[in-house]
Amino acid sequence: MQRKLTPYILLVPQIVLTIFFLIGLITGITQSLGVIPAFGLREPTLFYYKEILTKPDMVNSVLYSLRIALFSALFSTAAGVLLCALLVNGCRTKGKMMRIVQLPIIVPHVVVALFAINICSQNGLLARLAYAFGLIGEQQQFPALIYDAGGFGIILAYLWKEIPFIIYFVIALMANIDGKLGEAAVNLGAGKVQTFLRVTLPLCASTISSGFLIIFVFALGAYELPFILGATTPKALPVQAYIQYTHPDLRNRPYAMALNGLIIVISLVCAGLYFILMTRSQKKLAGKK
């Protein structure tokens, strides 16, 4: 009996907070349906969703956001895991190295954007170096790494911030597993790389994949980097939501909330797809064995 109750007791504070969160979420969604009594909006309607979904540049915006999110998450995760493995392998999981890894995690996104401009813009340090070495004669000849319609600059900025995030997210666990099981495997005659691929990586898989998902969903919903480093068109979804949100007419808020609603739905769909894919591939792996 006691054992049956234990999980629920453990979950009490979590559930209380979740209720707060749900209230916030539900109120937010209510606003996207055009119900904001303070501004005299009362009747729930799907008008705002219809309106944003029929905008001509909407498909482009969605694809643009998805591309940024996917590439940022994919490359950060891959590079992050690789670097993490190198760090664990070299026993550099503490001290100075970790301080450096922590740096980008702490740096706020607005500052990351400033960094990207300082380094990569046509006026940045790289362009100046190219000029100093005579590689280019004018600013405009330096490739437009940021402000481009492909979102390259945004992805680059996300990589700078999120690769260390992945390292940080995974390293404690990886070091722990590596220390405990890795040695055993090596003693049993497996090579280091093999041990990593066969033992350590699978055991970290769920953490790594949640790291991937966190970055993906975050990059899909955050407006700072696309707003500062993105092109004027297409605009990322969260940028559109932000612009609607700052629109001086308060009755435009439902548009912002509907756009956010759209982001939430896309996030949920992606997360769902992702879970399905993950379980399938896990089953496949298990089947092979």
Partner 1 sequence: MKKRILALLMSTVMVFGLAACAGDDQKKEEAQKEETAGDEKTSEGQGGKEIKDMTFDELKEAAKGSTVTFYGWGGDEVLNKWLDDVFAPAMKEKYEITMERVPMDIDQVLSQLSGEIQAGEEDGSIDMIWINGENFQSAKENNMLYGPFVEKLPNFGDYIDAESEDVTLDFAYPIEGYEAPYGKAQMVMIADTAVTPDLPKNTDELLEVAKANKGKVTYPALPDFTGSVFVRNVIYDICGYEQFLDMEADKETVKKAIEPALEYLRKLNPYLWNEGKTFPDASTTVDNMFADGELVLNMTYDAFGTSIKIADGTYTETTQSFQFDKGTIGNTNFMAIAANSGNKAGAMVAINEMMSPEIQADRFDKMKVLPVVDYNKLSDEQKEAFDKVDLGKGNIAQDELLSKRLPEMPAELVPIIEEIWLEEVVGK
Partner 2 sequence: MREEPEKAVKKRRFMITDIILIMFVLAIILPVAVMLVWTVTERWAWPDLWPQVFSLRALDGIFQRSEVLTKLFASSIIISSAVALLSVAIGTMTARALVLYEFPGKGLVYFLTVLPFMVPATVFAMGVQITFIKLGLNNTVAGVVIAHLICSLPYGVRLLMDGTAAVGARLEEQARVLGASAGQAFFRVTLPILIPVILSAFCMSYIVSFSQYFLTLLIGGGQVKTFTIVMVPYLQSGDRNIACAYSVIFLCITLAVFAIFEKIADRWSRNTDTAFYT
Measured on CA atoms in the order 201, 202, 207, 208, is the torsion positive or negative?
A: positive
Task: Tell whether residue 33 is a contact of partner 1 (CB under 8 A).
Answer: yes
Least distance (Å) between residue 11 CB and partner 1: 15
Amino acid at 186: V
Task: Tell whether residue 82 is a contact of partner 1 (CB under 8 A).
Answer: no
Least distance (Å) between residue 254 CB and partner 2: 12
45: number of CA atoms within 13 Å, CB side? Answer: 11
Alpha carbon 68 to its chain's center: 9
Q: Which of 13, 40, 90, 287 binds partner 1 (CB under 8 A)?
A: 40
Nearer to partner 1, 158 or 196 (CB): 158
Size of the site for partner 2 (CB under 8 A): 92
Residue 189 backbone class (left: φ over 0; alpha: ψ -120 to 50; beta: rest): left
Distance in angstroms (rounded) separating the CA atoms of residues 248 and 51: 19
Q: Which of 196, 241, 254, 255 binds partner 2 (CB under 8 A)?
A: 241
**Which listed range, 45-53, 58-66, 108-116, 277-285, lies at the site for partner 2 (CB under 8 A)?**
108-116
Q: Which of 103, 275, 281, 284 binds partner 1 (CB under 8 A)?
A: 275
Q: Which of 7, 13, 37, 90 binds partner 1 (CB under 8 A)?
A: 37
Q: Which of 101, 219, 231, 236 binds partner 1 (CB under 8 A)?
A: 231
Q: Which of residues 137-156 bind partner 1 (CB under 8 A)?
A: 139-140, 144, 147-149
Contacts of 156 (CB under 8 A, 6+ apart): 116, 120, 145, 146
Task: Tell whether residue 100 is a contact of partner 2 (CB under 8 A).
Answer: yes
Least distance (Å) between residue 148 CB and partner 1: 8
Nearer to partner 1, 82 or 269 (CB): 269
Amino acid at 33: L
Least distance (Å) between residue 137 CB and partner 1: 13
Q: Which of 22, 63, 135, 277 binds partner 2 (CB under 8 A)?
A: 22
Give residue for tokens 């092979």.
288
Q: Which does residue 107 touch among partner 1, partner 2, none (CB within 5 to 8 A, set by kind)?
A: partner 2
Q: Which of residues 43-72 bind partner 1 (CB under 8 A)?
A: 44
The helix/strand/coil state of 36 is strand
Nearer to partner 1, 7 or 40 (CB): 40
Distance in angstroms (rounded) separating the CA atoms of residues 69 and 59: 15
Q: Which two tokens stand for residue 71?
A: 């590439």
Nearer to partner 1, 125 or 172 (CB): 125
Task: Tell whether residue 268 is a contact of partner 1 (CB under 8 A).
Answer: yes
Least distance (Å) between residue 117 CB and partner 1: 8
Distance in angstroms (rounded) separating the CA atoms of residues 237 and 245: 12
| Number of Cβ atoms within 10 Å of the Cβ of 196 | 20
Measured on CA atoms in the order 208, 209, 211, 216, is the torsion positive or negative?
A: positive
**Nearest Cα to Cα of residue 217 among 69, 80, 106, 105:** 69
Could you tell me if 213 and 271 are in contact, meaning their C-beta atoms sit under 8 angstroms apart?
A: yes
Could you tell me if 199 and 165 are in contact, meaning their C-beta atoms sit under 8 angstroms apart?
A: no
Nearer to partner 2, 60 or 139 (CB): 139
